[in-house]
Structure 1
């Protein structure tokens, strides 16, 4: 643990997956304001138009005007060439004056929540979900750590955006719960294996960007879970991405969490 609080994230190379919208987009905006001039943001997503719009927005921001570099990688992380493109662009963007590598594993998909466990008999369907949500996160993290090994003067931070679903079962959300649980264990193991790393599993809470669509489109098969989300949305109990992200940034700046810990926004 650090004994002092950080006022910024340093001159950083920040790699953010799922950066084109929602929580990932908000992370990119917040990090752009907390890194030193000369930092680099590598934004990754499948939606090229949305990524380029965010790139243009950040280039015109105060951070962009004082030297923030924003790179876009349009990639499907469920495919090997997508992962390779992210690593290659990150290596190309690195310079010796950078002192902090930050990898944010945010990209994820909900999966089919309209069905229960007993309906998932298609191995290819399940394998495809796990490839994007678990395998790609593990392999990208491993590749980035190999590309940027431990060396004097270089901090390395790995963040996994997790969920209560990593800890608690939700009926009809078997793919999402399984993916989140497996992914969180990856980063808990990583923290044990690599004591020089700062590893964080951050749960941003119930966000409007995810659950408003579930409530309005009634995708969730289980009526109790569906009603719970609908009620939270109707009563204004869902958090905005900005509220969730502000807490994450404070955790990173304070830098006094136990590496590998699961930190939920409601515990802060």
Structure 2
């Protein structure tokens, strides 16, 4: 994949962690003239920091920031953000990276997560908002090549004790994007490429939360031991791997690609 094109790039959860690193590194690789980077997150101050860091290295790039709470986001919010950031530009490719997500309550067992009010908010944040945003992205960028990236995880395909919330939303998201890839692969235009990228175990606030709150001591110990041994990945390491996966383009649309998959 040639990343050096006139590109529209939207990254969710862009204020910190993997989303922040993805936005910064991809911004350096796309063609600056005519391209647009849109950063979506909850914290406007942090988003402005990311914008400043990007413009310090790529001053000719158009960068927009949008603070939005995904727990209550509606379709019209995504339409407004996409239309505002797209403007009147003409792009060679559009990319959306669905990175935003929360781990849920790891102190509860699967048999204890029946609070429907919490589930409604949690699924809206982690599943419904991603689907809604993606539908608007697909609609507004018809007719040009599109790359749709879902930040997945081992938890999307394997059960992990203490992580019933996280496993279920990640599985639901991955299946949505696999269906999208299947349907778009059957379309006559075939201009959409979908990737479910599992970034590995990263040293972030999310893994700190699991280590601190998981009810299963074995899971908490696994996170703690990897952090203490410094075997957890950095956001820079997984981003570098992600970019290599894109450039090599050996995956099929809809594939689940893990950081440690050597064939990619």
TM-score (norm 2): 0.92
Alpha-carbon deviations, 1:21-53, whole Å to 9, x = none?
000000000111110022111000011110011
Match among 206, 212, 215 for residue 221 of structure 1: 215
Match among 86, 89, 96 for residue 103 of structure 1: 96
Alpha-carbon contact 2:152-2:198 (below 8 Å) kept: yes
Residue 86 of structure 1: how far off its partner (Å): 3.5
Alpha-carbon contact 2:106-2:210 (below 8 Å) kept: no
Could you tell me which residue of structure 1 aligns to residue 250 of structure 2?
A: 256
Task: Output the aligned Cα RMSD.
Answer: 1.4
1:92 paired with 2:88, answer no
Residue 201 of structure 1: how far off its partner (Å): 0.0
Match among 127, 136, 144 for residue 129 of structure 2: 136
Alpha-carbon contact 1:14-1:42 (below 8 Å) kept: yes
Alignment of 1:48-67 (within 5 A): 48-61=44-57, 63-64=58-59, 67=60
TM-score (norm 1): 0.91
Match among 184, 190, 213 for residue 174 of structure 2: 184
Alpha-carbon deviations, 1:92-130, whole Å to 9, x = none?
332443111000000000100011112122111111111
Distance 1:177 1:138 in 2: 17
1:239 paired with 2:229, answer no
Alpha-carbon contact 1:73-1:85 (below 8 Å) kept: no
**CA pair 139-86 structure 1, distance change in 2 beyond 3 A:** closer
Q: Which has the higher contact order (CA 8 A, sep 6+)?
A: 1
How many residues get paired?
254
Alpha-carbon contact 1:166-1:184 (below 8 Å) kept: yes
Could you tell me which residue of structure 2 aligns to residue 163 of structure 1?
A: 153
Distance 1:85 1:54 in 2: 21
Distance 1:206 1:113 in 2: 16
Q: Which runs of 5+ in 2 are unaligned?
A: none
Q: Which runs of 5+ in 1 are unaligned?
A: none
